[in-house]
Amino acid sequence: CKNKPYPKTRFNRGVPDPKVKIFDLGRKKAHVDDFPVCIHLVSDEREQISSEALEAARICCNKYVVKNSGKESFHLRIRVHIDQILMSVRCRENNKHHVLEGLRRCKYKFP
């Protein structure tokens, strides 16, 4: 048991659950034609983004857009891949400025 992080191997079974529980928000089953505008939040640098930062950004953007344009007026998706889109939001043309403001607010959650 010397120099081991756990005294017995039976204590660490399996893999822990992901911290980000919800990857899709809004009206998930909407057809592509329902939301013609698609807005992305992209990272300019190659960096490691913590799951806590992704979760905080998701909550921030979702709260703002739901409060200002309604729960069924968009589809927000979290994407977790290196050097790619972090968040993408599909919406209608009349809700575009609400989504842009929500993404602007959530970008400050990232380091």
pLDDT in tens, 60-73: 999 999 999 999 99
Confidence of residue 44 (pLDDT cuts 50, 70, 90): confident
Q: 19 or 15: which carries more pLDDT confidence?
A: 19
Pairwise CA distance, residues 27 & 73, whole Å: 7
- How far does CA 5 lie from the centroid of its chain? 33
DSSP H helices in the chain: 51-69, 96-106
pTM score of the predicted model:
0.79
Structure tokens at 90: 């599909």
Supply the pLDDT for residue 11.
67
Distances (CA, A) of 51 to 1, 6, 19, 65, 101: 32, 25, 6, 21, 22
On whether the CB atoms of residues 74 and 89 are closer than 8 A, the answer is yes
pLDDT tens digits along 49-106: 888 999 999 999 999 999 999 999 999 999 887 678 899 999 999 999 999 999 999 9
